[in-house]
Amino acid sequence: MLYSTSSIRRRLSANALCGTLGLLTCSLASAWEQLPEGLEVGKWILAPSFTASYEAEDNVFLKTDDTATSDRVATLGGELKASLPFRNSNLELGYAATKEDYAKNDFQRDLTQLASVELQLEFRTGDRLTLRDRYRRDFARAEETDPGGETTFQGEPYNFNTWQVDLTRDDPRRRGYRLHVERQDFIYEGKTDIGFFEYRGFANYFEYYQPLPDDRSWVVHYGTRRFDHYDPESAVGVPFRTEKSDNVSLGMRGLLGKDQPYRIGLGYGRFRYEGDDGSEFHGLVGTAAWRLWLGGRTKLDLEAIRRPLPSNLSTYYINSAAVATLEREWQRFDLGTEFEYTKNAYADEIPDLECDGRRKDSTYAVEAFWKLKIHERISYDLSSFYSRRSSTCDTSEYDAAGIETGLRIGWF
């Protein structure tokens, strides 16, 4: 969907260059060096936006063929960001709400809400401190709450809160660093038999940047994760296991041409459950991303990642993913396509599932999208998508296809 979190393009646009699949433009560009866009009201800058869409999909919950459920959903949403720039710094307050009306399925929650506050402080030394808090009330659909796509969901309501502290000095011509500390709380609202864990914990990393000629730099990265996992069916607030992982990598970032950033990193990672008898991971991890301009208006984004992820099935799995996005820009409209391939390889056999050996999932998804720029602040979007997962466990396979159309108005 173009406007909800089950969209291929929406899901990847939020993660691709700044999150799950790499750190391409986010590590090379400083968004807060530019004033926010919007309506000036006194010292504040207000950026409202509105979206309306309609989608038809033949397998909403990504189930096997004999249990697939089709549906149609109408979506109406609004968002308001209020920014207060001061002394090369910025305070931003945000709130977004989206109402989703499913024709066939009823959920405990049909209104998603996101509230955020972000303070960015820039010092004369070139250091920047960012404090961020994001609180989301939503309901779980498809692969929304599971980055590796292991489990599918039935619309259970949840609350997700993240706190971030980010201190960085990021100038390609100087030695730099980034220290990132993040706390995450993911909790289902009410008891549920969803078959996926709640979690609370920290995901932190530190990076050192050593400059090289031609706006390149070495990147030394160390990251660590520690999360307590909880059974959502249990009333006792005691974790049933603790996830511990860390990784160290050496990489390079820079520009291969104007507006063509790249980043690559390879290293060694570890993953284990504290006090668990299951397998532990010790092996290769890495990320890579590159933006390539083909002519003046066609861009190609390439991304790849390899990492261990926690499973709900008393083990872990290696998640390997690659994404290619091709987009052509004209004066009044954009046209593009995106392809994603994901492979999950599990470390242990899972007794409760009927599988041919250890579970292995292979998923590919493709989307074609078109955007018409009616006005500087108005656009019409059309998207069609298809995804398919094959697995050594028959009950984990699915096919899904859909089409969506929608309208955006405002600063988006």
Kindly report, residue by residue over 42-63, the tens digit of the pLDDT.
999 999 999 999 999 998 888 7
Question: Using 50, 70 and 90 to split pLDDT, how confident is the model at 247?
Answer: very high
**At residue 35, does pLDDT exceed 90?**
no
**Of the ranges 229-243, 271-285, 373-387, the best mean pLDDT one:** 373-387
* pLDDT for 404: 95
Residue 2 lies in a domain: no
Question: Using 50, 70 and 90 to split pLDDT, how confident is the model at 152?
Answer: low
Model pLDDT for residues 187-200, shown as the tens digit of each residue: 888 766 666 788 99
Residue 1 lies in a domain: no
What does each C-alpha distance from 151 to 77, 194, 283, 369, 387 come to in angstroms? 27, 9, 24, 26, 15
Q: Name the domain count of the chain.
A: 1
Residue 110 lies in a domain: yes
**Of the ranges 68-72, 142-146, 297-301, the best mean pLDDT one:** 297-301
Residue 268 lies in a domain: yes
Cβ proximity of 55 and 75 under 8 Å: yes
Residue 42, judged by CB atoms within 10 A of its CB (0-12, 13-18, 19+), counts as exposed
* pLDDT for 32: 37
* pLDDT for 69: 83
Mean pLDDT, rounded, for 158-163: 92
What type of residue sits at position 106? D
**At residue 9, does pLDDT exceed 50?**
no
Question: Using 50, 70 and 90 to split pLDDT, how confident is the model at 67?
Answer: confident
Residue 200 lies in a domain: yes
Domain that holds residue 177: 8-410
Best CA proximity match to 321, nearest among 3, 22, 4, 111: 22
Residue 217 lies in a domain: yes
Residue 244 lies in a domain: yes
Best CA proximity match to 60, nearest among 160, 146, 143: 143
The greatest distance separating any two alpha carbons of the chain, rounded to the nearest whole angstrom, comes to 65
Question: Using 50, 70 and 90 to split pLDDT, how confident is the model at 3?
Answer: very low
Residue 362 lies in a domain: yes
Considering the chain, what is the average pLDDT of its residues?
86
- DSSP track, 254-266: EESSTT-EEEEEE
Cβ proximity of 265 and 219 under 8 Å: yes
Distance between CA atoms of 174 and 178, rounded to whole angstroms? 13
Domain containing residue 113: CATH number = 2.40.160
